[in-house]
């Protein structure tokens, strides 16, 4: 018999405040795991406020999120007008005229017990000039407009391949909404006017809507976007501001009518005081300028964006203001913030949707009962903080290691202090070619290598164990690997063909 004094007191109702990408991702994932008869899930959103309306590029873990919630790839690609993303091209980031590619997937294959890149570094020291990117199947495929299938067999060159998507965020939220509603989530339209707190515990008791109704719950998920209405405003959890590390704080977003299926990647182009994104979808192009208001006026950013667009704008550029950073905790009392309400690290490496996915997964891992155990909440917060901090370091690297000495903004980025964790990582790489890895490092060695080398950080040394291979054998191995990758990329279908095989007829294809 269960003693009623010690039996866990289950959460019986969850209230999600906000219906952007974060709100609906949380709703679908929770409704997939928690049976509706055990716990009611209500989502409140306000059409008068709307969503932030950006967030169209992703990273590979989105595939597993879709899989977990039972959303098949063909259905997803059709519903969200998605295209494939094999990585990001960084144009003008190291200096004007220079470009490099950050591919998803790995470079080459490790051999002779040593990391692949260490052999490449040694070959370079012996006079080889083969670009590192020649050993990335993703990069080769991306620059030839190709798209392939994943293969987990480590003997296959395709085991080094990986991809994510570009998609229409509004269509994704719509699709998730219909999935969540089918699983019993109740959507309530309304403006949250007040957050009602318990006078003793400080926990949230309910959300007062503009129609006077009170929506009560046991657990509240704050998905109200940058405003952080519950966690930030009502519970007063402070914001940790990282503007001194990541100085961009404004964006202008504008879609154009251009279609480009030949470049299955995001492009990020550096400008005088920020950078421009270009995200190709099936039916339009997503564009925007991210910049620092301390170095550029809104008009300067607007003019630079409009002068560098492909295709006709479909709307006026929409201004967005933000501050980079995160909340000191994502979980306080009976409220967990997910999405922009928990923090925002600017869109440079498309990590925000991933952070939503991570927060939802961790909430399910550390799901509370009505006692809201402080140790559980503490561990959740520690892990989330780690995720943000590691991504922050990776983003800062892009800005810090630049040689654009002519631009005040870029000089500022190069000379500002950087986090110690990043400084150590750069110093170790510069000296030895080795990469320090840390807990919760979302970005693996291949990503760090792409950006370190791409931004011009070339190690002085390499792993001494690579010396056991004779230079002629090393040369032969590298040449063989490079040829194999080139051949594999050649044999892949184009993204156009791949989409057609999935039953998709993007606008350009349909028009012939
Ligand atoms: C310029 C820019 C570019 C970006 N690009 C990318 C990218 O390429 N990839 C990526 O992963 N991420 C990107 N992001 C981040 C991404 O847009 C967000 O992570 C994602 O859209 C989730 O937002 P959200 O759901 O947290 O907030 P929002 O979309 O802002 O949703 C907030 C919700 O809360 C509701 N709400 C707010 N207040 C109230 C209230 N008082 N009453 C009722 N409802 C309320 C709103 O109606 C809305 O439904 C970008 C962000 C910016 C600023």
pLDDT digits (tens, 9 = 90+) for 462-510: 999 999 999 999 999 999 999 999 999 999 999 999 999 998 877 654 4
Query: Which atom of ligand 1 sits closest to the CA of residue 47?
Result: 47
- Is residue 1 predicted with pLDDT exceeding 60? no
Would you state the pLDDT for residue 3? 54
Packing angle between helix 352-365 and helix 374-400, nearest 10 degrees? Answer: 160
Mean per-residue pLDDT, 143-162 = 94
What pLDDT digit, counting tens, does each position of 187-212 carry? 999 999 999 999 999 999 999 999 99
Q: Are 267 and 278 in contact (CB under 8 A)?
A: yes
The C-alpha atoms of residue 265 and residue 136 are separated, in whole angstroms, by 14
Give catalytic status of residue 85 as yes or no. yes
Would you state the pLDDT for residue 5? 58
The C-alpha atoms of residue 377 and residue 436 are separated, in whole angstroms, by 28
- Is residue 64 predicted with pLDDT exceeding 50? yes
- Rounded to the nearest whole angstrom, what is the distance from the C-alpha of residue 344 to the centroid of ligand 1? 10
pLDDT band (50, 70, 90) for residue 222: very high
What is the residue-wise DSSP string for 290-316? EE-TTT--HHHHHHHHHHT-SS-BSSP
What is the CB < 6 Å shell around ligand 1?
18-23, 44-46, 49-52, 54-58, 169, 191-192, 223-225, 227, 229, 251, 253, 288, 320, 322, 339-341, 347, 350, 352-353
Mean per-residue pLDDT, 215-240 = 98
pLDDT band (50, 70, 90) for residue 36: confident
- Rounded to the nearest whole angstrom, what is the distance from the C-alpha of residue 224 to the centroid of ligand 1? 8
Query: Which atom of ligand 1 sits closest to the CA of residue 45?
Result: 44
- Is residue 28 predicted with pLDDT exceeding 60? yes
- Rounded to the nearest whole angstrom, what is the distance from the C-alpha of residue 253 to the centroid of ligand 1? 13
- Is residue 440 predicted with pLDDT exceeding 80? no
Q: Which among 404, 453, 405, 403 has a CA at the least distance from the CA of 426?
A: 453
The C-alpha atoms of residue 495 and residue 500 are separated, in whole angstroms, by 8
- Give nearest CA residue, ligand 1 atom 37: 224
- Is residue 321 predicted with pLDDT exceeding 80? yes
Query: Which atom of ligand 1 sits closest to the CA of residue 19?
Result: 49
pLDDT band (50, 70, 90) for residue 7: low
Tracing tokens 């009518």 back to the chain, one arrives at 257
Query: Which atom of ligand 1 sits closest to the CA of residue 53?
Result: 29
Decide the pairing of beta strands 335-337 and 219-222.
parallel
The C-alpha atoms of residue 303 and residue 56 are separated, in whole angstroms, by 23
Tokens of 240: 């940790």
- Rounded to the nearest whole angstrom, what is the distance from the C-alpha of residue 295 to the centroid of ligand 1? 25
Q: Which among 136, 130, 135, 125 has a CA at the least distance from the CA of 459?
A: 125
Q: Which among 383, 203, 349, 198 has a CA at the least distance from the CA of 277?
A: 349
- Give nearest CA residue, ligand 1 atom 38: 224
- Rounded to the nearest whole angstrom, what is the distance from the C-alpha of residue 346 to the centroid of ligand 1? 12
Query: Which atom of ligand 1 sits closest to the CA of residue 59?
Result: 11
The C-alpha atoms of residue 244 and residue 377 are separated, in whole angstroms, by 29
Mean per-residue pLDDT, 52-77 = 96
Query: Which atom of ligand 1 sits closest to the CA of residue 356?
Result: 19
Residue 235: CA atoms inside 13 Å, Cβ hemisphere, count?
30
- Is residue 166 predicted with pLDDT exceeding 80? yes
- The length of the chain in residues reads 512
- Rounded to the nearest whole angstrom, what is the distance from the C-alpha of residue 283 to the centroid of ligand 1? 22
Tokens of 425: 């990582």
> Pocket of ligand 1, candidates 29, 49, 55, 173: which has the most ligand atoms within 8 Å of its Cβ, to mutate?
55
The C-alpha atoms of residue 36 and residue 30 are separated, in whole angstroms, by 10
- Give nearest CA residue, ligand 1 atom 16: 55
Kindly name the residue from 81, 85, 146, 425 that is annotated as catalytic.
85
- Rounded to the nearest whole angstrom, what is the distance from the C-alpha of residue 127 to the centroid of ligand 1? 49
Tokens of 398: 């892009």
């Amino acid at each position: 018999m269960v003693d009623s004094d010690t039996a866990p007191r289950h959460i019986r109702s969850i209230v999600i405040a906000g219906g952007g990408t974060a709100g609906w991702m949380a709703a679908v994932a929770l409704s997939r795991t928690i049976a509706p008869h055990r716990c009611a899930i209500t989502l409140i959103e306000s059409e008068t406020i709307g969503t932030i309306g950006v967030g169209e590029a992703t990273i590979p873990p989105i595939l597993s999120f879709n899989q977990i919630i039972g959303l098949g790839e063909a259905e997803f690609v059709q519903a969200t007008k998605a295209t494939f993303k094999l990585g990001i091209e960084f144009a003008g980031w190291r200096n004007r005229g220079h470009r490099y590619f950050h591919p998803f997937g790995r470079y080459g294959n490790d051999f002779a017990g040593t990391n692949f890149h260490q052999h490449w570094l040694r070959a370079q020291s012996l006079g080889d000039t083969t670009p590192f990117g020649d050993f990335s199947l993703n990069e080769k495929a991306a620059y030839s407009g190709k798209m392939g299938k994943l293969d987990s067999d480590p003997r296959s060159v395709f085991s080094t391949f990986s991809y994510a998507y570009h998609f229409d965020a509004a269509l994704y939220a719509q699709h998730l909404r219909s999935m969540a509603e089918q699983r019993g989530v109740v959507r309530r339209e309304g403006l949250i006017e007040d957050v009602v707190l318990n006078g003793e515990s400080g926990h949230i008791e309910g959300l007062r809507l503009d129609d006077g109704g009170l929506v009560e719950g046991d657990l509240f998920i704050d998905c109200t976007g940058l405003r952080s209405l519950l966690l930030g405003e009502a519970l007063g959890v402070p914001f940790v501001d990282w503007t001194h590390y990541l100085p961009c704080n404004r964006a202008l977003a504008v879609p154009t009518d251009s279609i480009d299926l030949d470049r299955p990647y995001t492009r990020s182009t550096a400008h005088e005081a920020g950078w421009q994104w270009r995200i190709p979808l099936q039916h339009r192009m997503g564009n925007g300028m991210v910049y620092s208001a301390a170095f550029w006026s809104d008009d300067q950013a607007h003019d630079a964006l409009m002068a560098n667009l492909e295709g006709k704008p479909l709307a006026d550029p929409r201004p967005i203001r933000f501050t980079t950073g995160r909340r000191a905790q994502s979980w306080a009392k009976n409220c967990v913030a997910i999405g922009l309400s928990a923090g925002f690290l600017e869109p440079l490496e498309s990590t925000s949707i991933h952070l939503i996915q991570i927060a939802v997964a961790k909430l399910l891992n550390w799901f509370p009962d009505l006692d809201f155990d402080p140790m559980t909440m503490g561990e959740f917060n520690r892990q989330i903080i780690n995720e943000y901090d590691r991504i922050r370091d990776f983003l800062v690297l892009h800005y810090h290691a630049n040689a654009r000495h002519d631009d005040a903004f870029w000089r500022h980025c190069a000379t500002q202090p950087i986090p110690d964790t990043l400084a150590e990582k750069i110093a170790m790489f510069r000296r030895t070619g080795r990469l320090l890895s840390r807990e919760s490092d979302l970005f693996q060695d291949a990503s760090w290598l792409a950006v370190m080398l791409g931004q011009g950080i070339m190690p002085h040394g390499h792993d001494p164990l690579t010396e056991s291979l004779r230079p002629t054998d090393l040369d032969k191995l590298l040449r063989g690997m490079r040829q194999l990758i080139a051949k594999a990329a050649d044999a892949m279908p184009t993204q156009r063909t791949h989409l057609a095989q999935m039953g998709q007829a993007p606008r350009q294809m349909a028009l012939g």
